[in-house]
Structures are given as C-alpha cells and as structure tokens.
Chains A and B, each alone.
Chain A
Amino acid sequence: MDHPPSNSHLPEPVIHKILRLLPPQDAIRASATSKLWRSAWISHPVFDFDEASLPFKLDAFYDFANRSLALWLNRCDNRVNMEKLSLCADVTNGESFSRFVELVAIATSRNVKVIELQTCSEFYYLIFHNSHLWSLLSACKSLDVLSLKHFKFYLSSSLPPFSSVRKLRLSGISIDENSVRNLLSSFPSLEDLVVECCSGFDELRVSCPKLETMEVSIWDDPPQKVVIDSANLRSFFYRKAFRCALGSVSFSSCKLLTTLAMECTEFGTVNAIDEYLSQIPLLENLTLKSCKTPESIQISHSNLKSLKLQNLLAVVEGGD
C-alpha cells in the first residue's frame, strides 16, 4: 500500500496556487514536468504578460500573449472565468494600443476580476475619454480590482461608470485636474483607492461615497492638495517621496476615520499634528514614520489606542 508519494497528484486548484507564485519562466518549466502540471498550467486563470521580462518585443509580444490566451480559451469553455490579467507592454502608437486593448477584451469577455495595466514605454501613451478601453472595462461587471500605471489621461467628460470596481490603483499617471475629477466620479462603488506618484494636477479631490481606505503617495514638490469628502473613510495613509513640508490635507468630513499614517512629512510647529488630529474625533491608530518634527511635538487625543513613531528626525515627547 506504500505508493511512492508524488506532488504530481496535487489537485488542480492547488497547482494553480503554486503556479501563481512563480515567475512565468519557472511556471512554464514546472508545466513541462507532467501532463497534470501541463494541463493545470493551460487552465490557469491568471495571466501575467510583462514585455520587459519576456524575450518577445512589440508585435512578437502581442503574438505570444494572444497565443497563450487562445490556448486557455480553447481549453476552458465559457463557464470558466478569468481571475486576473496583468499586462505590461510598450505602448507607443495607436496600433500597439489597439493590440493592447484586444488582450483586455479577451479578459473582460471572460468575466475577469482583476485587471492590471501598465506601459513600459519611454513616453506615456495618451488615452482620451472616448477610448474603447473605458467602455470595455465599464461593461465588465465582474471587475473588482483595477490598476493603471504609467499612462497619460485626458478625459474631457466623465467615463461610463465602473460600477463593480471596489479597488482602484493609479500609479505614475499624468492627468490634469479636470480629468482626475472625471475619472474618480466614474467609480461609484469604490472602497479602496491608491494614488501614487501621479502628476499634472494641483488638487486631488476624492468624494467616492463608499471609500473606506485611501493611500496617497505624493511625488511633486510643492505637494498637491488633497481633499477627501468620503464620509465612510476608515483608514488614510499619506506618504511623500521626499521629506518636504506637509501639503494641505483635509479630511474634515471623514468622521469615521480611525487609522491615520503619515510618512516623510514635515511638521513645522509643536501643535501641527494636534491640529490635524482635532479633525478626527474617532482616531484610534496613528503612525508617524520618517517625519521631521520640531524638538517636541504634542499629541493629545482621547480616543487614541496605538501610537507608532518611527525614524522621526527630532526628539519626541508627548503622549496621552
């Protein structure tokens, strides 16, 4: 009864989990070990195509991605949903962008849950409000998480609503203030928003009604003004790339905020932090990391349960 144990008898969902943790090269090698691993690889509903790390460039990259997806479509019928499409490609002209969007269309036709789009071109590709990309993403009612990196958006009017998306990440997006407003107003169900190192606007105003968590990383100096009107916000993380004076951050209508973290920020006066905290009556957790503070700062807040101070650039006294 002593069968030689073999990992090749693992259930397919377990093999999928393992493949998900591997870079494509390793995953393909693992898939060449046996029929079971091969078939698990083909049915694997998570796709990660990164032109920078694959040996295929330009058209050859899109051909490769199309071939991989065709194999999957062929193996898995309409009832099988795609979980994730992660795409990082050199998008320089309309032609490559349309091939880029073609891949997105395959994912949205298969009820994809997570889409991550990124360009690795020297110049950001400019996307307008009437781009086919938006209508595809908007029509995909399974879409839960959307991540956009290294694009330029010019959105002169609002987009079709992305009513199912709960988490949005914008990284390195070049976008003007009006376009930011048009973009964010198209996400009525948003619960989690990350905006990192985006530029082109002076003020970031967020009023998504369901927003619970928000993370902002500011790159520009002087820093952009951040105004959050989301009454549901629980957690806010504000980070700066360089240590410079605290920009204007206002979350006075976020009365439910319980967690606040600030990183790489300069507080000019003894009371500067306290002034912020007075906006947030229910605050329970406060973290200040790599901030520059005066010799002493005062933190007094009746609700505070946890206070973390890391790498501060001054002597700190205080507490409550």
Chain B
Amino acid sequence: MSSSSTTTTTTRLLMLKASDGVTFEVEEAVATKLGAINNMVEEEGSEDLICLPNVNGKFLGMVLEWCKKHANNNTNSDKGNDEVNKWWDKEFVMDLDQNTLYHLLMAADYLSGTELVDLLTEKVASMIRGKKVEEIRETFKIKSDFLPGQEEEIRKKNSWAFE
C-alpha cells in the first residue's frame, strides 16, 4: 500500500553515476531540474541510484552545479534573484572553451535540461553571429564533408548571405 500522504519534508537524496564511475549525491529537487531525471524519479519504485552512461563526470558535475544554482533560487521567487541568476549564467558560459561547451550541451540535451540547453545554444549562437563560414568551422572544429562543388553551389544560391 503506497500511502502518498506520507510525503515528508525531508529531501530525498539521489546518487547519480557518470560514465566514468564518478558519483554525485544530490537533492531530488536539484536533480529534477533535468527532465530525464525527473521522469525516472516519477516512476514508481524508482531507485535512488541513477546511472548515466552517456555523461562523463566532469560535465555531469557542471550540469549539476547549474541545477543547484537554479533549484535554490526557485524556492524564493524573488525578482531580485532573477537578476542574480542571469549574472551567474553569464559567468557560467563566459569562458567555456569549445570542447567543454560541446560536451556540456550534449549532456544538457541528453538529460533534457531545457533551460540549460537554452543558455548554451544562445552561447553557441553568439559565437556564430557575424562570422564567416571558415571562421565558424574553425571556432567549432567542424570539418566540411561536402562533395566537391556542393559548397560552391550553396554559396552561389545564397550569395547575398556571403557578401
């Protein structure tokens, strides 16, 4: 018999295990900022240990750091905290190198951390704006895999965007 009325105020702790075996102990309210974790926790009889084979400890740690910040501030919905959060987010993405940004974005997407994905995609977009194709490739280490002539065709058809 599950007595749903016995939900106590003591916070449940979850263990999140990253692909490299690193584990994090986090409050449920923090981890459920991530849609994927929220779904797992809502399942009946879910365990407190959650394995995340697609996320490495370093990036899981960073994702959780973001969750912690944003979960805390949710509890008192003061407008002033919104501002603090914005600043914190700005600092969070300020000096991310391309490699970290990529892995963090992959992790946030995999864990369905929608707000974090929004923050990181905006960072990526800000690194694309005003850049030439070659510079975008360089910035994100993208290799062109077009067949010969394909890229020229795109440029020709959209020449206005390449001036």
- Partner-B contacts on A (CB < 8 A): 4-8, 10-11, 13-14, 17-18, 21-26, 28-38, 54-56
Binary flags per residue of B51-92, CB closer than 8 Å to A gives 1, else 0: 000000000000000000000000000000000000000000
Pick the contact of B142: A6, A17, A23, A28 (CB < 8 A). Answer: A6
Is B22 part of the binding interface, using a Cβ–Cβ cutoff of 8 Å? no
Which B residues lie within 8 Å of A5 (CB)?
A: 98-99, 102-103, 141
Q: Indicate if the CB atoms of A29 and B132 lie closer than 8 Å.
A: yes
Specify the main secondary structure of chain A where it touches its partner. helix
CB distance from A308 to the nearest CB of B (A): 9
Q: Indicate if the CB atoms of A17 and B117 lie closer than 8 Å.
A: yes
Is B34 part of the binding interface, using a Cβ–Cβ cutoff of 8 Å? no
CB distance from A174 to the nearest CB of B (A): 33
Q: Indicate if the CB atoms of B146 and A35 lie closer than 8 Å.
A: yes
Q: Indicate if the CB atoms of A30 and B136 lie closer than 8 Å.
A: yes
With contact pairs A7-B102, A18-B125, A33-B133 given, residues A28 and B143 touching in the complex (Cβ less than 8 Å): no
With contact pairs A7-B98, A26-B129 given, residues A37 and B142 touching in the complex (Cβ less than 8 Å): yes
Of the listed residues B117, B122, B154, the one surrounded by the most CB atoms of chain A closer than 10 A to its CB is B154
Q: Indicate if the CB atoms of B102 and A26 lie closer than 8 Å.
A: no
Q: Indicate if the CB atoms of A29 and B136 lie closer than 8 Å.
A: yes
CB distance from A96 to the nearest CB of B (A): 21
Chain A: which residue is nearest B161 at the CB level? A28
The 3 closest A-B pairs by CB, nearest first: A7-B140, A21-B125, A28-B161
Q: Indicate if the CB atoms of A18 and B124 lie closer than 8 Å.
A: yes
Which B residues lie within 8 Å of A25 (CB)?
A: 160-161
Q: Indicate if the CB atoms of A21 and B130 lie closer than 8 Å.
A: no
CB distance from A282 to the nearest CB of B (A): 19
Binary flags per residue of B91-127, CB closer than 8 Å to A gives 1, else 0: 0000000110111011001000000011001101100
Is B128 part of the binding interface, using a Cβ–Cβ cutoff of 8 Å? yes
Which A residues lie within 8 Å of B141 (CB)?
A: 4-8
With contact pairs A24-B161, A29-B161 given, residues A38 and B154 touching in the complex (Cβ less than 8 Å): yes
Q: How far is the CA of A23 from the CA of B129 in the complex (A)?
A: 8
Pick the contact of B128: A4, A17, A26 (CB < 8 A). Answer: A26
Q: How far is the CA of A8 from the CA of B143 in the complex (A)?
A: 8
Which B residues lie within 8 Å of A30 (CB)?
A: 128, 133, 136
Q: Indicate if the CB atoms of A28 and B158 lie closer than 8 Å.
A: yes
Which A residues lie within 8 Å of B125 (CB)?
A: 18, 21-22, 26
Chain A: which residue is nearest B99 at the CB level? A5
Which B residues lie within 8 Å of A29 (CB)?
A: 128, 131-133, 136, 161-162
